[in-house]
Chain A
Amino acid sequence: MEQHAMLKLMPSDFADPAESSTETVARALAALTPSDLLRLNRVAQLRARLIPGLEWDELLNEALLRALDGSRRWPEGVPLLVFIAGIMRSLVDGRAQQRRRLVERALAVGQTPAAPAPDARLHARQCLAAIAKFFAGDPDVLTLIAALAQQHLGCADNPAPRLGKKRREAARKRLARAILRGQLDGFLP
């Protein structure tokens, strides 16, 4: 797969031994192109959808704060987008855990199974249904999404090979275009 230019932005491209990590990250952020910024926006929008009510700009803002104040170090060899996306992932995970704990505490005293908050589960179901509806006319894209998600879950049964290389690549392009244009985000609850 073609690698985006942003993925090549590494700490060593910006680091000066005499400057702080704030300056290194600040200079890397300043070098982002409009295309990179849009990509960052979409990643934040997707990630924020894991927590009902969380706004993407709030999440990105928090991630930038951690990257710039040095509380999260930008490791050598990690591209900038991956670094920022990783911070957003851990922020969302932290918030999800916090929500679970609150629900557990409210539900019962004693043993309560660690399960996502009911509204989070409902929200997840609604988001999955919205994607299915959005791509209802494009079964190849739906198969691809299922295959990619199964890869992340470590499932052995991967439906993607059934599509064939050409159809899989075409579906991948259509899916990426829908996300980058913001069409999918507008459709999600």
Chain B
Amino acid sequence: MTNFRDKPDASTRWRATVEALEALVQAAPEAEEIDPAEAEKVRRLIRIRVVAARSNNLPAAWVPRCEIAATAETVEGRKHTPQPPQPRPHLRPAWRE
């Protein structure tokens, strides 16, 4: 296909060709016909990666959602079961003139 003066091997020529074609794709104007399925495939890949990266970056103090739900259920259950009398909370004295 190509007439290189100093005849580099096929791997070198193929690599240079890929570099050239890649640069062409990057610089080409807007693609006219876009297959939505192809674009969606890349979008899905990105979405999966972003979700995974965000979950890995949560601070240690953050509690996973399922754990929060489990705690809420326990609190809900506790409301219906009779509880021993609790000590009254300490009230602040009211301001008197």
- Please list the residues of chain A having a beta carbon within 8 angstroms of any beta carbon in chain B: 1-5, 7, 20, 22, 26, 29-30, 32, 34-35, 37-43, 46-47, 49-50, 57, 60-61, 64-65, 68-69, 81-82, 85, 115-116, 120-121, 123-125, 127-129, 131-132, 142, 145-146, 148-153, 155-157, 159, 172, 175-177, 179-182, 184
Contact = CB atoms under 8 A, between A and B. Distances in A.
A4 B29 CA distance: 5
Contact of B42 (A60, A127, A149, A151): A60
A142 B36 contact: no
A145 B53 contact: no
Interface residues of B, number: 49
B45 A64 contact: yes
- Kindly name the residue among A2, A68, A142, A153 whose own CB sees the greatest number of chain B CB atoms within 10 A: A153
B34 A146 contact: no
B35 A38 contact: yes
A64 B42 CA distance: 11
B5 A124 contact: no
What's the dominant secondary structure at chain A's contact region? helix
Interface of B: 1-6, 8-36, 38-39, 41-43, 45-46, 49-50, 52-54, 56-57
A66 to B, nearest CB: 10
10 contacts: A2-B27, A35-B39, A39-B28, A46-B18, A68-B52, A121-B9, A152-B16, A153-B4, A155-B4, A176-B24
A150 B26 contact: no
Given A65-B49, A145-B1, A182-B35, A124 B13 contact: yes
A93 B18 CA distance: 13
Contacts of B15: 50, 124
Given A132-B1, A182-B35, A153 B50 contact: no
Contacts of B41: 41, 57
A185 B4 CA distance: 24
Given A40-B42, A146-B1, A181-B33, A50 B28 contact: no
Given A1-B27, A61-B49, A179 B21 contact: yes
Contacts of A4: 26-30
A39 B31 contact: yes
